[in-house]
A and B are shown apart, each in its own frame.
Chain A
């Protein structure tokens, strides 16, 4: 005989305004097995919780149903209250009267009836609940940081400085990311490399950081506190330990006309190269897709001949490195659209139409023009330059509905840098809105307009075409009575949309984290869990989550690091025991499992093992599935697939679900009799 308590919450007006809570409580009191049923304005408040605790003790309740908001909000609150009064936390269930009922229906008798039905289902379920006990797992206090841009660097340094080990993995030959490519930074116009490179060096020198460059994530297994990660170290073809970084190989390499990724295609590099002078590590790698030795079967070999230390190793192979880590920070960064994405701006066929990152390289002292304003087609100084903001962004026709966030600011910066270098030049900025929300941001844009005489035109550019060596920019000034305007420009810079990396979907899938429609990684909650993912133990930092500027990326990098440090401050983690189990029974059956192992093939966490049930003399009776409680995440895929119904999830057993369904089907009868 059960002794169930029902607690109906009004949630102020949230539930109370549409559901007749008092009536619901009265109806619930009549349900079979319910010995206590009350309603109250705020169950989650201190007095509300005390009501629950007292009722459990006084009425000797052996199960409670709190009918309130989503269990995602207050389930821990009520479970804790139950625990404190001596009831196992898993004998507390929540009926979601708010998100599933009052918020989505109008005030009506049928809404009240639905609320009662929801409670009825949970009452029947809780009768079948069994006490469960949290699972304890150890924590490996090493973090993996994926991505060596500013967000990843910040994260790695913060975790390392709090005394934990960090493995920092970067796909390029050097850390630094996009920030290393920037000329100056807004809103202070200080040199990007000058503020970044000390951090890069710190990473390289830090005793707690193991830096792995030119490497990619291969696979992630396990769970929070106990991940097993596989990293593919791509063959650098240079033995880092022997190489002294003299640079003879890169200067002698005959293949010199490869578009340089670091210079956004504005310059060239050799087939054996160091991406930029301040690279960390400052050791070259061979680009096998362009190197003659690999393309023409062992010809050339010049770098090997000139290398004074014999560090070149053409035979080096990719290597799979395996690490055990307790937490992962994904800081894989972003990409920006190329000019070829824009049919109206020439599909990338005009040399003097470039994107923002290419302009950064033009303006940078370490760039292909050593910071001089020279346009790509003929090296002349552009006298008239047009910047187009929102190129692709906020444009549903282009499939990019969101704001790329950084462009307003960097476009103002670009226009300013141009004016500082070419005093006689004329700079136009076409914009939709100026979004300069940030400390000293608005002032920065005003400075561009007022002090540096940049002409801001509110309107879009419909077309660019080339005529007599000039780019004809056709646009409209919507503040001047929508006057069409044509500008003869020498160079055009498109502030192209910030997008997710091309392989971000695959990376997310490898880590088992979710991502949004634009393939940016998804945070666990847009407001309250902005640095965590839905997969415990995996955090996000930087623009892999959404477009972000440097201060924001750094903040989130530190935020992710702090989350990791919190995790590592515990020696053991407790996990909810809501995991699957394959049943075991008395001989001669031993288990209803027939050993088809369909479950094994679908388990995304590889948590299902084969167990041999043997007689005492060692002879095999049968092979059945067994679920590793350390690996199981309780997703339930195996339960759905099991043909003999041999797997159950604790807390959501077949019996419990079935009781709920039966309650729902029998409801009419019960409702009427009550």
Chain B
């Protein structure tokens, strides 16, 4: 059993509960236990860093310090926004000892920077991918669009991922699952993010363009790894459809759900029913594929 530090953030306990369900279900198959950081707190999200730089470091730094006290060297942060905040704070405190001691005083906890936040993509690459292929029972055969959004592989000076404008890492996962990732131009475009509440019309436009391109290129589902992206692309369909002037019914699922489906984990355990846009059609097609697949196997 591998134990990995886990920072769920607000989404994975709330609006993105299916992200956590699917993540835990997949981890269980790989004998990985996700251990939540004791008494973790809000990462500060967009609000803190727009108002006060020190606060924007101190908030995530507290969770980092708590993870250190639990002796974790890595913390899985599945939410892309939380990941960005935690990584940014981690970079600040490990690069500048003055900031580190200042922040340590503020949070009243010892802080060394020994617990490094890792994204869901890094986590999958390191812990899931090596043994994934042999665990695939029902390969996904459909065309899918891998969507990264703004924060998963950026900013480059923080994440150090060299293809930050045109990432290919999720595509690699999807290929292992048997899927056909499409080549498209909206992988890292903005979904509208926090404007979801205040300017839903704008989210309709931005997310609409993303879905339009995915559909145009024949994708049957969009695969994401960020609760914010998922909620905008999935929940704001009314505004999106208004903008596009037509109804798009392409489902938006988490990469962990896709992995779970391909591994043959029951959809119930992956939270596939918790989306606004139904995944039934996709899963139906997928199962149809499986049937054909198994038939082909029998022959």
> Does A466 touch B at the CB level, under 8 Å?
yes
B-side contacts of A465, CB under 8 Å: 184-186
Q: State which residues 337-372 of A face B: CB under 8 Å.
A: 343-344, 346-347
> Does B156 touch A at the CB level, under 8 Å?
yes
> Does B71 touch A at the CB level, under 8 Å?
no
B-side contacts of A463, CB under 8 Å: 165, 185, 189
Judging by beta carbons under 8 Å apart, are B216 and A343 in contact?
no
Q: Mark A307-347, 1 if CB is under 8 A from B, else 0.
A: 00000000000000000000000000000000000011011
Judging by beta carbons under 8 Å apart, are A344 and B185 in contact?
no
Q: State which residues 118-148 of A face B: CB under 8 Å.
A: none
Q: How far is the CA of A347 from the CA of B168 in the complex (A)?
A: 12
B-side contacts of A397, CB under 8 Å: 156
A-side contacts of B166, CB under 8 Å: 343-344, 346-347
Judging by beta carbons under 8 Å apart, are B163 and A343 in contact?
yes
Q: How far is the CA of A465 from the CA of B163 in the complex (A)?
A: 15
> Does B105 touch A at the CB level, under 8 Å?
no
Q: State which residues 465-480 of A face B: CB under 8 Å.
A: 465-467, 472
Which B residue sits closest to A464, measured CB to CB? Answer: B185
A-side contacts of B163, CB under 8 Å: 343, 347
> Does B213 touch A at the CB level, under 8 Å?
yes
In angstroms, how far is the closest chain B Cβ from the Cβ of A392?
13
Q: Mark B207-218, 1 if CB is under 8 A from A, else 0.
A: 000000100100
In angstroms, how far is the closest chain A Cβ from the Cβ of B84?
18
A-side contacts of B286, CB under 8 Å: none
> Does B164 touch A at the CB level, under 8 Å?
yes
In angstroms, how far is the closest chain A Cβ from the Cβ of B162?
8
Q: How far is the CA of A225 from the CA of B216 in the complex (A)?
A: 70
Interface size class of B (residues with CB under 8 A): 10 to 19
Q: How far is the CA of A463 from the CA of B166 in the complex (A)?
A: 10
Judging by beta carbons under 8 Å apart, are B165 and A466 in contact?
no
Which B residue sits closest to A472, measured CB to CB? Answer: B185
Q: How far is the CA of A467 from the CA of B210 in the complex (A)?
A: 13
In angstroms, how far is the closest chain B Cβ from the Cβ of A606?
42
Q: State which residues 78-116 of B face A: CB under 8 Å.
A: none
Judging by beta carbons under 8 Å apart, are B156 and A467 in contact?
no
In angstroms, how far is the closest chain B Cβ from the Cβ of A619?
67
A-side contacts of B216, CB under 8 Å: 467
In angstroms, how far is the closest chain A Cβ from the Cβ of B12?
30
Q: State which residues 159-198 of B face A: CB under 8 Å.
A: 163-166, 184-186, 189
Q: Which of B156, B185, B186 has the most CB of A within 10 A?
A: B185
The total of Cβ contacts below 8 Å across the A-B interface reads: 21
B-side contacts of A347, CB under 8 Å: 163, 166
Which A residue sits closest to B163, measured CB to CB? Answer: A343
Which B residue sits closest to A468, measured CB to CB? Answer: B216
Q: How far is the CA of A310 from the CA of B248 in the complex (A)?
A: 71
Which A residue sits closest to B186, measured CB to CB? Answer: A465
Q: How far is the CA of A344 from the CA of B166 in the complex (A)?
A: 7
Which B residue sits closest to A397, measured CB to CB? Answer: B156
Q: How far is the CA of A346 from the CA of B187 in the complex (A)?
A: 12
Q: How far is the CA of A344 from the CA of B184 in the complex (A)?
A: 12
A-side contacts of B184, CB under 8 Å: 465
In angstroms, how far is the closest chain B Cβ from the Cβ of A285?
37
A-side contacts of B165, CB under 8 Å: 343-344, 463
Which A residue sits closest to B217, measured CB to CB? Answer: A467
In angstroms, how far is the closest chain A Cβ from the Cβ of B45?
25
Judging by beta carbons under 8 Å apart, are B164 and A343 in contact?
yes
A-side contacts of B164, CB under 8 Å: 343
Q: How far is the CA of A343 from the CA of B163 in the complex (A)?
A: 7
B-side contacts of A343, CB under 8 Å: 163-166
Q: How far is the CA of A399 from the CA of B266 in the complex (A)?
A: 49
In angstroms, how far is the closest chain A Cβ from the Cβ of B94?
22
Q: How far is the CA of A395 from the CA of B163 in the complex (A)?
A: 17
Q: How far is the CA of A343 from the CA of B185 in the complex (A)?
A: 11
Q: How far is the CA of A617 from the CA of B213 in the complex (A)?
A: 95
Q: Mark A380-412, 1 if CB is under 8 A from B, else 0.
A: 000000000000000001000000000000000
In angstroms, how far is the closest chain B Cβ from the Cβ of A337?
15
Which A residue sits closest to B213, measured CB to CB? Answer: A467
A-side contacts of B156, CB under 8 Å: 397
Q: Which of A397, A466, A467, A472 has the most CB of B within 10 A?
A: A467
Q: How far is the CA of A526 from the CA of B224 in the complex (A)?
A: 53
In angstroms, how far is the closest chain A Cβ from the Cβ of B218?
13
A-side contacts of B186, CB under 8 Å: 465
Q: State which residues 225-245 of B face A: CB under 8 Å.
A: none
Q: How far is the CA of A472 from the CA of B186 in the complex (A)?
A: 11
Q: How far is the CA of A673 from the CA of B66 in the complex (A)?
A: 64
B-side contacts of A466, CB under 8 Å: 185
B-side contacts of A472, CB under 8 Å: 185
In angstroms, how far is the closest chain A Cβ from the Cβ of B169?
14
Q: How far is the CA of A467 from the CA of B212 in the complex (A)?
A: 11
Q: Mark A446-470, 1 if CB is under 8 A from B, else 0.
A: 0000000000000000010111000
Q: How far is the CA of A397 from the CA of B213 in the complex (A)?
A: 29
Q: How far is the CA of A467 from the CA of B213 in the complex (A)?
A: 8
Q: How far is the CA of A343 from the CA of B189 in the complex (A)?
A: 14
Which A residue sits closest to B189, measured CB to CB? Answer: A463
In angstroms, how far is the closest chain A Cβ from the Cβ of B214?
12
In angstroms, how far is the closest chain A Cβ from the Cβ of B256?
27
Which B residue sits closest to A343, measured CB to CB? Answer: B165
Q: How far is the CA of A397 from the CA of B156 in the complex (A)?
A: 9
In angstroms, how far is the closest chain B Cβ from the Cβ of A346?
7
Q: How far is the CA of A344 from the CA of B216 in the complex (A)?
A: 21
B-side contacts of A467, CB under 8 Å: 185, 213, 216
Which A residue sits closest to B166, measured CB to CB? Answer: A343
In angstroms, how far is the closest chain B Cβ from the Cβ of A140?
49
In angstroms, how far is the closest chain A Cβ from the Cβ of B228?
20
A-side contacts of B189, CB under 8 Å: 463
Q: How far is the CA of A463 from the CA of B190 in the complex (A)?
A: 12
B-side contacts of A346, CB under 8 Å: 166
In angstroms, how far is the closest chain B Cβ from the Cβ of A149?
33
In angstroms, how far is the closest chain B Cβ from the Cβ of A338?
16
Q: Mark B33-61, 1 if CB is under 8 A from A, else 0.
A: 00000000000000000000000000000
In angstroms, how far is the closest chain B Cβ from the Cβ of A543?
28
In angstroms, how far is the closest chain B Cβ from the Cβ of A130?
53
Q: How far is the CA of A463 from the CA of B164 in the complex (A)?
A: 12
Q: How far is the CA of A512 from the CA of B237 in the complex (A)?
A: 66
Q: How far is the CA of A346 from the CA of B163 in the complex (A)?
A: 11
In angstroms, how far is the closest chain A Cβ from the Cβ of B243?
15
Q: How far is the CA of A29 from the CA of B81 in the complex (A)?
A: 72
Q: How far is the CA of A347 from the CA of B185 in the complex (A)?
A: 12
Q: How far is the CA of A347 from the CA of B165 in the complex (A)?
A: 9
Q: State which residues 583-633 of A face B: CB under 8 Å.
A: none
In angstroms, how far is the closest chain B Cβ from the Cβ of A585?
56
Q: How far is the CA of A347 from the CA of B163 in the complex (A)?
A: 9
Q: How far is the CA of A165 from the CA of B185 in the complex (A)?
A: 58
In angstroms, how far is the closest chain A Cβ from the Cβ of B172?
16
Q: How far is the CA of A466 from the CA of B186 in the complex (A)?
A: 11
Q: Mark A422-463, 1 if CB is under 8 A from B, else 0.
A: 000000000000000000000000000000000000000001
Q: Which of B156, B163, B166, B184 has the most CB of A within 10 A?
A: B166
In angstroms, how far is the closest chain A Cβ from the Cβ of B175?
18
In angstroms, how far is the closest chain B Cβ from the Cβ of A412?
28
Which A residue sits closest to B188, measured CB to CB? Answer: A463
In angstroms, how far is the closest chain A Cβ from the Cβ of B244?
15
In angstroms, how far is the closest chain A Cβ from the Cβ of B68?
32
- Beyond contacts A467-B216, A472-B185: 18 other A-B pairs, Cβ-Cβ < 8 A, are A343-B163, A343-B164, A343-B165, A343-B166, A344-B166, A346-B166, A347-B163, A347-B166, A397-B156, A463-B165, A463-B185, A463-B189, A465-B184, A465-B185, A465-B186, A466-B185, A467-B185, A467-B213
What are some 21 contacts across the A-B interface (CB < 8 A)?
A: A343-B163, A343-B164, A343-B165, A343-B166, A344-B165, A344-B166, A346-B166, A347-B163, A347-B166, A397-B156, A463-B165, A463-B185, A463-B189, A465-B184, A465-B185, A465-B186, A466-B185, A467-B185, A467-B213, A467-B216, A472-B185
The 7 closest A-B pairs by CB, nearest first: A465-B185, A343-B165, A344-B165, A343-B166, A347-B166, A343-B163, A343-B164
